Amino acid sequence: MKLLEGNFCGLPRSVPAAYILCVAALWGIFVVFTLGLGQEVRIQYEMMYFAGDAALMAAPALLLPRRWRMVMLLPVALTALYLMASQAYFQYWHDTLPLDLVFRSASWNGFVADAAGTLFGATQWAIMLITAAYGVGLWLTGRKRAGVYCLRGRLLWLAGAVAFFLLISCAGIFQMRNYMRSIGENPAVAEVMRVKLEISGSIKADNFVKSPLLYFCFEISDIGSVDIVELTEDETLFIERTIGESSTSGLISGNEGKNLIFIIVESLNADVIGARYGGWSVTPVLDSLLADSMTFAALNVRTQVGVGGSSDGQMIYNTGLLPVYRDVAAMTFGGNRTFPSLAGSLPAADACEYVAEGGSCWNHYATSVAYGYSALNDADSIAALGIDAEQVGLDRAVFEMALRLMPSMRQPFLAEIVTLSMHYPYIDEGAPRRRWIDSLPDIATLERNYLQTLNYFDGELGHFLERLKGEGLYDNSVIVLASDHDQAYKTNSRNAAERHPIAFIALNSGVGRRIEHQAYQMDVYPTILDMMGWRGDGYRGMGRSLLAGDYCMTDSMAAERRRASDLIIRSDYFKGK
């Protein structure tokens, strides 16, 4: 404690000690977080830049009286908590957690808590230890009396912190300029500064590695931001050209007056359908459906969801659009944008959505209206019908709710049913477990749980289809099943090493076809329009109908369509159209 006694450059030693501790804690948290993202941390680059950012972010500690020194623990702890959650989020979605989502109640539910718990690892422990060590050190710095409050000395230290930050920033600009010269460019200092300060609109993690301070400033400024983007003439022409290129058709007839029952299946990997373990199939119902020569099936569909996950999948299927960059479209734009939609295109007398979670989860209340549904039936509706989801499982509950309410819908209707039992980490307490799956050897717990919930969904789908026949609804309905996104089930993250194709299956459509080539999630929307005999003009989605004979789509084309979708949603392109 002697080190904390006396003066140091005009201030009691406890003041600069508290400040230096804060800088060290933030710097350590930034380094650990960056390593947790799998990014390189170099001494002359990231470690140096992080020190400058931490010095400026910790500067308020210099102005606090000794008795208020512990106040700085709060922002450091909040930063630590956010980055701990963000690293777990990165494991799953390959980008950092939008700060805007933290302040939206619809983002928080039991599924998020369950998933976060399984993704808690070394990075989180290291950040927790750094934060705890900072708290202890901060407490120790104030145990001795610190003398009178010296504003002049504190302001001098504050000026030093700003100067240090500017020095590091200038060093970074100098390094970048030298690099750009080494590759044959000769930029002006202003251009280098622009590049250095530029915030990417797509990969948020890159923004953090460039500058934690700029990252947080941008994230804070983006909270609640839903400003309409004004399109340039070139951007408008780009959107029009992209939509025009997507307007191929493989229109069939015979389904114009039928109902459309659209089942969006949580985390259904197409390559697990038909898989056999110990001589048993995990999906006997789906196997039998795919064996029918009149079933339409595309089992090599590439998922295109972004950080919105399941909500992105529902948006793609309902609107034919793709996710926006950086934000979760359903949360940020779901209640304030005009969307084209299946419900608006098809001549449905009624359009209802059936979900197992609460309507506030992932902004269902807003998106259901935005996508043209006249009613949303959620967890409250399940409870009102006397269905105990905790006893029978979430998938049986949502299917049972739909079966009870669909007969009262005016035909032809559109009914969207969203399943949930297979949500990561694949634990539905109400779903029965198959003994033969639990007894499989050499299967990790995560994979075993996935197989259990997949088998449960498969069985409930079979019951649902039989009940539709009993209610007299099957023959007059086209039934579509589509995965909301792919899902890792052998590892605890959605990583590049474990990606899966997703499924698109249509029953009773009059089209018996197996699509072997790779397709894209955005292709489902126009294919359904063709299956239902839609003869309207204009927008047909970002994708191309899989029924059309001239189908052609590549990854580069898909990337262009996402760029067009981002502009469409942010500019509210369809408003008034």
Distance of CA 494 to the CA centre of its chain: 11
Average pLDDT over residues 137-146: 72
Q: Return the pLDDT at 126.
A: 95
Alpha-carbon distances, residue 142 vs 14, 15, 70, 108, 296 (angstroms) = 6, 9, 9, 38, 72
Evaluate whether 262 touches 482 at the Cβ level (below 8 Å). Answer: yes
7-16 b/e (C-beta count within 10 Å ≥ 16 → b): ebeebbbbbb
Q: Which tokens in the block code for residue 185?
A: 């460019």
- Using the predicted structure, report yes or no on whether residue 149 has a pLDDT greater than 80: no
Q: Return the pLDDT at 3.
A: 41
Where are any strands of DSSP class E within 2-131? 7-8, 11-12
Average pLDDT over residues 328-341: 90
The helix/strand count (H/E) of the chain reads as 23, 13
pLDDT, greater one: 96 or 461: 461
Q: Return the pLDDT at 537.
A: 80
Evaluate whether 36 touches 145 at the Cβ level (below 8 Å). Answer: no
Q: Does domain 233-571 have CATH number 3.30.70.141?
A: no
Can you give the length of the chain in residues? 577
- Exposure of 232 in the CB half-sphere (CA atoms within 13 A): 3
Q: Which tokens in the block code for residue 494?
A: 């959605």
Q: Which range is least confidently modeled, 145-159, 238-252, 349-363? A: 145-159
Q: Which range is least confidently modeled, 93-102, 140-149, 330-339, 505-514? A: 140-149
Evaluate whether 315 touches 362 at the Cβ level (below 8 Å). Answer: no
pLDDT, greater one: 102 or 36: 36
Evaluate whether 576 touches 282 at the Cβ level (below 8 Å). Answer: no
206 CB-near residues (< 8 Å, 6+ apart): 200
- Using the predicted structure, report yes or no on whether residue 4 has a pLDDT greater than 50: no
186-197 b/e (C-beta count within 10 Å ≥ 16 → b): eeeeeebbeebe
Q: Which residue has the tokens 């609460």?
A: 358
166 CB-near residues (< 8 Å, 6+ apart): none
pLDDT, greater one: 316 or 194: 316
Q: pLDDT category, 490, cuts 50, 70, 90?
A: confident
Q: Return the pLDDT at 15.
A: 78
Q: Which range is least confidently modeled, 98-107, 141-150, 266-275? A: 141-150
Of 269, 262, 260, the C-alpha closest to 483 is 269
* Parallel/antiparallel/unpaired status of strands 7-8 and 375-377: unpaired
Q: What are the tens digits of pLDDT across the range 390-400? A: 999 999 999 99
Q: Quote the CA–CA distance of 73 and 140 in Å, as a whole number.
A: 13
pTM above 0.75, yes or no: yes
Q: Quote the CA–CA distance of 25 and 13 in Å, as a whole number.
A: 18
Alpha-carbon distances, residue 300 vs 151, 174, 501 (angstroms) = 67, 48, 5
Of 521, 488, 524, the C-alpha closest to 502 is 521
Bond before 12 cis per omega within 30 degrees: no
Distance of CA 296 to the CA centre of its chain: 29
pLDDT, greater one: 179 or 493: 179
- Using the predicted structure, report yes or no on whether residue 496 has a pLDDT greater than 60: no
Average pLDDT over residues 508-526: 96
Average pLDDT over residues 521-547: 93
Q: What is the DSSP letter of 376?
A: E
Evaluate whether 312 touches 334 at the Cβ level (below 8 Å). Answer: no
Q: Which residue has the tokens 């404690």?
A: 1
CA end-to-end span of the chain: 72
Q: Where are the domains of the chain?
A: 2-221, 233-571
Q: Share the mean pLDDT of the chain.
A: 88
Q: What are the tens digits of pLDDT across the range 10-54? A: 556 777 888 999 999 999 999 999 998 888 888 878 889 999 999
Q: What are the tens digits of pLDDT across the range 425-484? A: 899 999 999 999 999 998 999 999 999 999 999 999 999 999 999 999 999 999 999 999
Q: Which tokens in the block code for residue 219?
A: 């994230």
Q: Return the pLDDT at 246.
A: 82
- Using the predicted structure, report yes or no on whether residue 365 has a pLDDT greater than 70: yes
- Using the predicted structure, report yes or no on whether residue 573 has a pLDDT greater than 90: yes
| Per-range mean pLDDT, top range of 5-14, 275-284, 390-399 | 390-399
- Using the predicted structure, report yes or no on whether residue 9 has a pLDDT greater than 70: no
- Using the predicted structure, report yes or no on whether residue 294 has a pLDDT greater than 60: yes
Q: pLDDT category, 335, cuts 50, 70, 90?
A: confident
Q: Return the pLDDT at 116.
A: 64
Evaluate whether 359 touches 376 at the Cβ level (below 8 Å). Answer: yes
Q: Which residue has the tokens 């700060």?
A: 99
Where are any strands of DSSP class E within 238-312? 259-265, 276-277, 280-281, 296-302
Q: Return the pLDDT at 203.
A: 67
Distance of CA 371 to the CA centre of its chain: 19
pLDDT, greater one: 74 or 113: 74
The alpha carbons of the chain give a radius of gyration, in whole angstroms, of 28
Alpha-carbon distances, residue 483 vs 104, 244, 328, 357, 454 (angstroms) = 26, 27, 19, 17, 12
Q: Which tokens in the block code for residue 256?
A: 């114009």
Bond before 407 cis per omega within 30 degrees: no
236 CB-near residues (< 8 Å, 6+ apart): none
Average pLDDT over residues 247-253: 82
Average pLDDT over residues 540-563: 93
Q: Which residue has the tokens 């899966």?
A: 500
Evaluate whether 323 touches 306 at the Cβ level (below 8 Å). Answer: yes
Q: Which range is least confidently modeled, 257-261, 300-304, 384-388, 534-538? A: 534-538
DSSP 301-323: EEP---TTTHHHHHHHHHHS--P
Q: Quote the CA–CA distance of 51 and 289 in Å, as a whole number.
A: 60
Q: Return the pLDDT at 366.
A: 92
- Using the predicted structure, report yes or no on whether residue 412 has a pLDDT greater than 90: yes
Average pLDDT over residues 500-523: 96
